[in-house]
């Protein structure tokens, strides 16, 4: 089951994202940022394991017609079940409900998003992202993520 994250989920979200960041698959998110942006997040519960949390994603609004899917991660022992795709679809549906026209991602796994209809774009078409977040990134200006976008 996918649902909006609540305060008790922050510890799980932080741990999962930290594990992926340690492997170089995601950028780290400070705990304070997760609390600040908790309303952006969705989590997946495993009903067979007593509603244990097994995945996360977030939809962050960047501008009047633009949002970013970020922090997409599924526990390793639950990968290959379509949960990542379902989390992305949940974010895209929320973007549609909010009236957004475009959604982008910065990813180390671009093929996953291409299969979902995203197309690779130059990072230069994302100036709001660059000025809002990228300047704080330890990898700036040598970003090694791929930018992809989907039109809604």
Q: How many domains does the chain have?
A: 1
* Domain, as residue range, for 9: 2-151
> What one-character-per-residue DSSP string does 90-121 give?
HHHHHHHHHT--EEEEEES-HHHHHTTT-EE-
Report residue 133's pLDDT band, with 50, 70 and 90 as the boundaries.
Answer: low
- Torsional sign, CA 51, 2, 116, 130: negative
- pLDDT digits 0-9 by tens, 64-118: 999 999 999 999 999 999 999 999 999 999 999 999 999 999 898 999 999 999 9
Looking at the DSSP bridge assignments, the partners of residue 107 are: 146
Distances (CA, A) of 103 to 7, 75, 117, 134, 138: 26, 24, 11, 17, 24
Asked if residue 140 has pLDDT above 60, the reply is no
Domain CATH for 29: 3.40.630.30
The residue whose two tokens read 């990228």 is: 134
d(CA 44, CA 87): 8
């Amino acid at each position: 089951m996918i649902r909006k994250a609540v305060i008790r989920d922050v510890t799980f979200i932080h741990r999962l994202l930290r594990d992926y960041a340690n492997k170089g698959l995601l950028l780290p998110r400070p705990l304070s940022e997760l609390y600040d942006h908790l309303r952006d997040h969705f989590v997946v519960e495993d009903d067979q394991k007593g509603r244990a949390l097994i995945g996360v994603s977030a939809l962050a609004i960047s501008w009047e017609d633009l949002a970013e899917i970020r922090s997409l991660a599924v526990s390793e022992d639950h990968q290959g079940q379509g949960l990542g795709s379902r989390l992305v679809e949940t974010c895209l549906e929320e973007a549609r409900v909010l009236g957004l026209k475009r959604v982008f991602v910065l990813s180390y796994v671009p093929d996953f998003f291409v299969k979902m209809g995203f197309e690779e774009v130059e990072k230069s078409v994302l100036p709001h992202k660059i000025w809002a977040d990228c300047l704080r990134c330890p990898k700036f200006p040598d970003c090694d993520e791929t930018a992809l976008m989907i039109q809604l």
